[in-house]
């Protein structure tokens, strides 16, 4: 068991110094957008908060720190953080996430950007400015560090001309919409989630979708369902695409957590919760649709039942 | 919020708990943990304790850090106490040094 | 009784017998097992909480308690509302929460073998897969454990039809606080059982004062094919009770029959925001039916309920009842009481005191009126509701625990409600138990029945099971 304090300091240190919770070169965050040629400035920005892109690293880091259990002190973990902050390229070598695990979020983000385009929602992208929102620091009670991170992220987005941002995952959506206003003076960004944008476009007939899977069981992320009330939107989208949506025993506001948020504190606890949830989901379908990179990582890792776990953005295509 | 204000709020909000335990039905971590500190009823009480006493032991801190902030408990709470808010604020009190806790927090899983 | 062995000797012996992971002495954690709702707090902090993981661990704790003479307090989820589970004299809390295996389910035997820490709702989830259920459903069933329900003799909404815990426990393992920590199987695994004096039913409802129960055989029953529901609102409680009489006269045996007084309806309706025009007193009736009989029974039911009502809402199935939110007002009662207490007292921290009397249903109207009068006299706004089918009432008031004068009046109110029950030929506790809160009430009731000698008999029974008086001392008798 790594010292909780040390893990937190690692994340805070890295976020404050590099803008990312795990120090990696910034291209890792924005390279997905280059082939799409998204403009750098505009009123509406796609802001990913880097969560999709960094999950493979955050996950590996948790495992790595856990492997240090007992043998290394908190001081050693902090020395490691310093070393990686000075040489972010080394992080990939040290943590060596699967290339496939790095590729998948890029593909998902690029699909999302194309959905938005199809909906007539043309977004700019801040590239180097697509910094981590600091949500984990907030969750862990590191308020001072979080407040500093939040003002910086806000400043960078404003400098890029953003008046409105479109977010793509539940944690970033919640923190940008409901937490930043309490920590950033004069915060005035309008925050929309891409599922809300897409659901509206589907409802109004501006976008037509077709299915990539026949049937799914839906796993609501806690932060969409209980904090932000995003429950009907993903269902409307999937149904409009012709995907049959099955509800697990606990869904919507009563959804059951994937266990992911406690991964950095206790991987074992996280995976046991994921196992419980997977066996519940399996009763409804062999294909699970998730909407959050943390859910995806945590459920996938515990998936010994041979379920197919996909992100909602992989469940359908837009009709051109 | 300063740690002092947070402690004030934690103390007040947690005191609303009547200890009915309904929240525990929904908690994913409680059945996997070694005792009630791994469930919302315990966390609410411990958050209040940390705020009032300015310290928390290792077992109690493990309860606070094992929380997912998933808010399933809130749906069951007859008093609609902001349970994840209390947990987060307790972490803040520990992180900002307002409440002392041991460095090593042994999160246990049965 | 002062414990003979020192704290450190007891803790050492427990750790040795159980292993260190099952003994928690951290002061903060021990506090979480030292309290109950209704503002009950251990006057003396226990030394530790132990967490048996196997039935033999329970026996080991009992044996040590006897040998070293320290009190032990068995606990489930501490939701009895009677003060039956919190420790009074230091000692050690025995939490059954890790004993939570469903050992076997046998449909052909109509029974299930479960450990004490299994939650009733979790058991029902498992049984529902097989089309069966365990029908005892206390309001806290989402967290209430089988062991806690056995100890407190729990009932619930389905009590009028299915009875309470004592009707559903076939047999159990009883662990005695004696030299050996003797474990014996009492009762039977069969539905019929004539095993001399019925010790099983003596233990069920004994609030953990006679024996520790690590596991039990429970009776199960098939889930109803379908359930129809009607909710109706009445201008007066008299109209409501006349309707209940009509339902019974027609030979309808409801699955659930709940009522809420005017005040409760007002509170709960505004809290629950159900799409129902709620005013006056509410009667909620569900009847289990064969699918083919759905329309006929529902027609009959809504006819009877509608004849005196301001309005009636109906549902052909549980799904439809959920969709129409017919249970919303009833479910909203407890949170609404909490909210109401906070508003009227102008305090964040409030206690909601919930009574648990039963009177013959024929005396319900009188009971409600007397309770209202008494509440008004003592300065409380009372919310009345309960299980009308079996006459079980749960009047509730909000109290500011920091106001000593109000706390005193609340105690008086509590006693007064019990007096009303006794006067009308009822009982002071239908399903929550005696615990610490109703010991005086029990005495009052027995005295009124010229049965004070029963207390002596109960104490003699207690001594026969637990000669040193170490098991949950200070409760019931």
Mean pLDDT of chain A: 93
Q: What is the pLDDT of residues C220-273, one digit of tens each?
A: 999 999 999 999 999 999 999 999 999 999 999 999 999 999 989 988 888 877
In a domain, B49, yes or no: yes
Confidence of residue A114 (pLDDT cuts 50, 70, 90): very high
Q: Say if strands A164-167 and A44-46 run parallel, antiparallel, or are unpaired.
A: parallel
Check whether C377 has a pLDDT greater than 80. Answer: yes
**CB pairs below 8 Å between A and B: how many?**
96
Share of chain C above pLDDT 70, in %: 99
Residue C188 tokens, joined: 């039977």
In a domain, B20, yes or no: yes
In a domain, B100, yes or no: no
Q: Taking CB atoms and an 8 Å limit, are A143 and B29 in contact across chains?
A: no
Q: What is the pLDDT of residues C98-144, one digit of tens each?
A: 999 999 999 999 999 999 999 999 999 999 999 999 999 998 889 99
Mean pLDDT of chain C: 94
Q: What is the pLDDT of residues A170-194, one digit of tens each?
A: 999 999 999 999 999 999 999 999 9
In a domain, B64, yes or no: yes
In a domain, B8, yes or no: yes
Comparing CB atoms, the residue among B25, B35, B57 nearest residue C121 is B25
In a domain, B50, yes or no: yes
In a domain, C475, yes or no: no
In a domain, B107, yes or no: no
* Domains detected in chain A: 4-196 (no CATH), 208-318 (3.40.50.1860)
Shared domain for C374 and C284, answered yes or no, is no
Check whether A70 has a pLDDT greater than 60. Answer: no
In a domain, C257, yes or no: yes
The per-residue pLDDT for C275 is 82
Shared domain for C387 and C457, answered yes or no, is yes
Least-confidence region, from A137-151, C145-159, C264-278: C264-278
Shared domain for C447 and C356, answered yes or no, is yes
In a domain, C397, yes or no: yes
DSSP A55: H
- Total tally of structural domains belonging to chain C: 4
- Domain containing C42 equals 7-97
- Total tally of structural domains belonging to chain B: 1
In a domain, C477, yes or no: no
What pTM, to 2 d.p., does this model score?
0.94
The alpha-carbon gap from A113 to the nearest alpha carbon of chain B, in Å, equals: 28
The per-residue pLDDT for A72 is 56
Q: Which residues of chain B have pLDDT under 70?
A: 104
Shared domain for C305 and C202, answered yes or no, is no
Check whether C274 has a pLDDT greater than 80. Answer: no
- Burial of A59-77, coded b for 16+ CB within 10 Å and e otherwise, reads bbbbebbbebeeebebeeb
In a domain, C258, yes or no: yes
Comparing CB atoms, the residue among C26, C77, C351 nearest residue B18 is C351
In a domain, C295, yes or no: yes
Check whether C1 has a pLDDT greater than 70. Answer: no
CA dihedral C134, C251, C320, C273 (to 10 degrees): -90
Tell which of B13, B14, B25, B62 to mutate to test the C interface (max C CBs under 10 Å): B25
> Are A105 and A54 contacting, i.e. CB atoms less than 8 angstroms apart?
no
Shared domain for C115 and C181, answered yes or no, is yes
Burial group, residue C306, by CB count within 10 angstroms (0-12, 13-18, 19+): middle
> Are C143 and B24 contacting, i.e. CB atoms less than 8 angstroms apart?
yes
Shared domain for C344 and C445, answered yes or no, is yes
Average pLDDT (C72-101) is 94
Shared domain for C71 and C151, answered yes or no, is no
The per-residue pLDDT for A1 is 41
Comparing CB atoms, the residue among B25, B37, B46 nearest residue C142 is B25
Q: What is the CATH number of the domain that holds C325?
A: 3.30.70.2190
Check whether C401 has a pLDDT greater than 50. Answer: yes
Last residue of a domain, one of C69, C97, C125: C97
The per-residue pLDDT for A250 is 96
B36 touches chain C (CB under 8 A): yes
In a domain, C1, yes or no: no
Confidence of residue C66 (pLDDT cuts 50, 70, 90): very high
Q: What is the pLDDT of residues A5-60, one digit of tens each?
A: 777 888 899 999 999 999 999 999 999 999 999 999 999 999 999 999 999 998 88
Confidence of residue C336 (pLDDT cuts 50, 70, 90): confident
User: Which residues in chain B are contacts of A140 at CB distance < 8 A?
Assistant: 91, 95
Collapsing DSSP states into helix, strand and coil, what is residue A240? helix
Average pLDDT (C169-181) is 98
User: Which residues in chain B are contacts of C39 at CB distance < 8 A?
Assistant: 18
Listed residue (A20, A296, A266) closest to A137, CA to CA = A20
Shared domain for C358 and C410, answered yes or no, is yes
C219: which strand partners?
Answer: C111
Last residue of a domain, one of C97, C120, C151: C97
Tell which of A266, A267, A274, A276 to mutate to test the B interface (max B CBs under 10 Å): A266
In a domain, C454, yes or no: yes
In a domain, B23, yes or no: yes
Shared domain for C148 and C189, answered yes or no, is yes
Check whether C3 has a pLDDT greater than 60. Answer: no
Per-residue 3-state assignment (H helix, E strand, C coil) for chain C: CCCCCCHHHHHHHHHHHHCHHHEECCHHHHHCCCEECCCEECCCCCCEEECCCCHHHHHHHHHHHHHHCCCEEEECCCCCCCCCCCCCCCCEEEECCCCCCEEEEECCCCEEEEECCCEHHHHHHHHHCCCEECCCCCCCCCCCEHHHHHHHCCCCCCHHHHCCHHHCEEEEEEECCCCCCCEEEEECCCCCCCCCCCHHHHHCCCCCCCCECCEEEEECEECCCEEEEEEEEECCHHHHHHHHHHHHHCCCCCCEEEEECHHHHHHHHHHHCCCCCCCCEEEEEEEEECHHHHHHHHHHHHHHHHCCCCEEEEECCHHHHHHCCCCHHHHCHHHHHHHHHHHHHCCCCCEEEECCEECCHHHHHHHHHHHHHHHHHCCCCCECEEECCCCEECCEEEECCCCHHHHHHHHHHHHHHHHHHHHCCCECCCCCCCCCCCHHHHHHHHHHCCCCHHHHHHHHHHHHHCCCCCECCCCCC
Last residue of a domain, one of C97, C131, C164: C97
- Interface predicted TM-score of the whole assembly (ipTM), two decimals: 0.97
B58 touches chain A (CB under 8 A): no
Q: What is the CATH number of the domain that holds B30?
A: 1.10.1060.10
Q: What is the pLDDT of residues C186-215, one digit of tens each?
A: 999 999 999 999 999 999 999 999 999 999
Confidence of residue C389 (pLDDT cuts 50, 70, 90): confident
Average pLDDT (A282-287) is 97
Q: Taking CB atoms and an 8 Å limit, are C29 and B18 in contact across chains?
A: no
**CB pairs below 8 Å between B and C: how many?**
88
- Domain containing B36 equals 3-95
Q: Taking CB atoms and an 8 Å limit, are B42 and C32 in contact across chains?
A: yes
Q: Taking CB atoms and an 8 Å limit, are B105 and A272 in contact across chains?
A: no
Q: Taking CB atoms and an 8 Å limit, are A139 and B88 in contact across chains?
A: yes
Shared domain for C346 and C452, answered yes or no, is yes
A62 touches chain B (CB under 8 A): no
């Amino acid at each position: 068991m790594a010292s909780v304090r040390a893990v937190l300091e690692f994340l805070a240190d890295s976020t404050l110094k590099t803008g990312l919770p795990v120090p990696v070169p910034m291209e890792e965050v924005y390279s997905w957008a280059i082939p799409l040629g998204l403009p750098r400035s505009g009123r509406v920005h796609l802001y990913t908060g880097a969560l999709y892109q960094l999950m493979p690293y955050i996950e590996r880091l948790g495992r790595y720190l856990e492997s240090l259990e007992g043998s290394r002190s908190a001081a050693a973990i902090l020395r490691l953080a310093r070393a990686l902050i000075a040489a972010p390229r080394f992080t990939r070598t040290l943590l060596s996430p699967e290339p496939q695990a790095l590729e998948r979020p890029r593909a998902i983000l690029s699909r999302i950007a194309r959905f938005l385009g199809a909906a007539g929602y043309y977004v700019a992208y801040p590239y180097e400015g697509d910094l981590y929102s600091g949500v984990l620091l907030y969750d862990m009670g590191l308020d001072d560090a979080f407040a500093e991170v939040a003002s910086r992220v806000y400043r960078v987005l404003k400098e890029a001309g953003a008046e409105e941002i479109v977010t793509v995952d539940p944690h970033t959506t919640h923190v940008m919409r409901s937490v930043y206003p309490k920590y950033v003076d004069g915060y005035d960004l309008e925050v929309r989630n891409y599922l809300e944008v897409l659901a509206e476009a589907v409802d109004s007939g501006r976008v037509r979708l077709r299915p990539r899977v026949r049937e799914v069981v839906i796993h609501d992320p806690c932060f969409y369902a209980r904090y932000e009330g995003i429950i009907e939107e993903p269902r409307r989208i999937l149904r409009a695409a012709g995907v049959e949506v099955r509800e697990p025993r606990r869904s919507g506001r009563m959804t059951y957590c994937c266990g992911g948020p406690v991964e950095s504190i206790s991987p074992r606890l996280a995976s046991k919760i994921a196992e419980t949830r997977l066996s519940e989901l399996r009763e409804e379908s062999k294909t699970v649709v998730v909407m959050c990179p943390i859910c995806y990582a945590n459920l996938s890792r515990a998936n010994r039942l041979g379920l197919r776990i996909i992100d909602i953005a992989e469940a359908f295509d837009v009709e051109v | 919020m300063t740690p002092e204000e947070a402690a004030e709020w934690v103390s007040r909000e947690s005191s609303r708990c009547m200890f009915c335990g309904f929240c525990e039905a929904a908690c994913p971590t409680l059945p996997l943990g070694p005792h009630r500190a791994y469930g919302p009823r315990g966390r609410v009480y411990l958050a209040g304790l940390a705020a009032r006493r300015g310290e928390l032991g290792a077992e109690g801190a493990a309860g606070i850090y094992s929380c997912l902030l998933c808010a399933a408990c809130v749906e069951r709470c007859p008093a609609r106490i902001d349970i994840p808010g209390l947990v987060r604020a307790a972490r803040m009190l520990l992180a900002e040094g307002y409440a002392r806790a041991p460095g090593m927090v042994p999160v246990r899983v049965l | 009784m002062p414990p003979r062995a020192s704290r450190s000797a007891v803790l050492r012996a427990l750790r040795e017998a159980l292993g260190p992971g099952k003994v928690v002495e951290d002061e903060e954690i021990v506090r979480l097992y030292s309290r109950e709702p209704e503002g009950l707090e251990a006057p003396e902090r226990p030394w530790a909480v132990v967490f048996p993981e196997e039935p033999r661990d329970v026996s080991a704790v009992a044996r040590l308690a006897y040998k070293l003479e320290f009190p032990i307090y068995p606990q489930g989820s501490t939701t009895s509302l009677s003060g039956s589970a919190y420790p009074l004299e230091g000692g050690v809390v025995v939490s059954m929460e890790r004993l939570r295996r469903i050992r076997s389910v046998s449909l052909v035997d109509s029974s299930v073998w479960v450990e004490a820490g299994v939650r009733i709702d979790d058991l029902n989830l498992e049984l529902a897969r097989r089309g069966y259920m365990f029908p005892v459903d206390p309001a806290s069933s989402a967290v209430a454990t089988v062991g806690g329900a056995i100890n407190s003799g729990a009932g619930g909404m389905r009590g009028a039809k299915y009875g309470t815990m004592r009707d559903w426990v076939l047999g159990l393992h009883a662990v005695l606080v004696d030299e050996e920590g003797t474990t014996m199987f009492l009762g039977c695994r069969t539905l019929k059982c004539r095993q001399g004096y019925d010790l099983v039913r003596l233990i069920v409802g004994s609030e953990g004062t006679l024996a520790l129960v690590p596991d039990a055989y429970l009776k199960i029953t098939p889930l109803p094919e379908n359930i129809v529901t009607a909710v109706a609102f009445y201008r007066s409680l008299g109209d409501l009770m006349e309707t209940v009489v009509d339902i019974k006269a027609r030979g309808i045996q409801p699955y659930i029959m709940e009522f809420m007084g005017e005040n409760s309806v007002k509170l709960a309706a505004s809290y629950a925001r159900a799409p129902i025009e709620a005013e006056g007193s509410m009667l909620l009736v569900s009847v289990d039916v064969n699918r083919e009989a759905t329309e006929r029974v529902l027609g009959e039911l809504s006819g009877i309920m509608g004849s005196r009502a301001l309005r009636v809402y109906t549902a052909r199935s549980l799904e439809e009842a959920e969709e129409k939110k017919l249970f919303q007002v009833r479910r909203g009662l407890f949170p609404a009481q909490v909210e109401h207490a906070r508003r009227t007292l102008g305090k964040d921290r409030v206690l909601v005191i919930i009574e648990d009397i039963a009177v013959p249903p024929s005396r319900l109207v009188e009971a409600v009126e007397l309770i209202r009068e008494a509440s008004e006299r003592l300065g409380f706004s009372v919310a009345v509701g309960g299980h009308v089918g079996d006459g079980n009432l749960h009047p509730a008031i909000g109290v500011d625990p920091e106001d000593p004068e109000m706390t005193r009046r609340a105690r008086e109110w509590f006693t007064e409600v019990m007096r009303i029950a006794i006067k009308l030929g009822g009982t002071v506790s239908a399903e929550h138990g005696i615990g610490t809160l109703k010991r005086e009430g029990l005495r009052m009731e027995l005295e009124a029945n010229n049965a004070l000698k029963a207390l002596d008999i109960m104490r003699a029974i207690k001594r026969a099971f637990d000669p040193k008086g170490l098991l949950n001392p200070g409760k019931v008798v």
